[in-house]
């Protein structure tokens, strides 16, 4: 029966050490401004989500330009029987238009915040 008492003494000592350490950690966090960091985290999360949205928009501008150019060129080749000339020309135009739209979207978002 002496072992049970010894275990509870060890548990009590362990709890006291834990409370002492957690109190010290909380004190350090409050001194360093840890309480305001949650607002900073929310602000940075908002910035991150806006950056990801901008990235997806810019990527979709490029993909849309390439796909539309390729589709128009392919359709013209089908109708006129000039395979693959219109496809090559309009694919190039689609790539150029996609890049141009990417640059415009990126500049608009970075200049006007």
Where exactly are the structural domains of the chain? 1-35, 45-113
pLDDT digits (tens, 9 = 90+) for 8-18: 888 898 899 98
Q: Are 98 and 63 in contact (CB under 8 A)?
A: yes
pLDDT band at 85 (very low <50, low <70, confident <90, very high): very high
Q: Does the model's pTM come out above 0.75?
A: no
- Burial class from Cβ neighbours inside 10 Å (0-12, 13-18, 19+) for residue 35 reads exposed
- Residue keyed to tokens 């109708």: 79
pLDDT for 37 = 53
State the DSSP code for 83. Answer: T
């Amino acid at each position: 029966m002496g072992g049970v008492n010894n275990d509870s003494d060890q548990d009590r000592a362990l709890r006291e050490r834990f409370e002492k350490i957690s109190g010290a950690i909380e004190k350090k966090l409050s001194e360093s401004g840890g309480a305001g960091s949650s607002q900073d985290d929310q602000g940075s999360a908002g910035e991150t989500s806006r950056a990801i949205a901008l990235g997806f928009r810019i990527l979709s501008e490029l993909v849309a330009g390439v796909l539309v150019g390729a589709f128009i060129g392919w359709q013209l080749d089908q109708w006129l029987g000039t395979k693959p000339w219109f496809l090559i020309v309009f694919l190039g135009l689609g790539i150029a238009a996609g890049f141009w739209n990417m640059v415009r979207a990126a500049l608009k978002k970075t200049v006007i915040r």
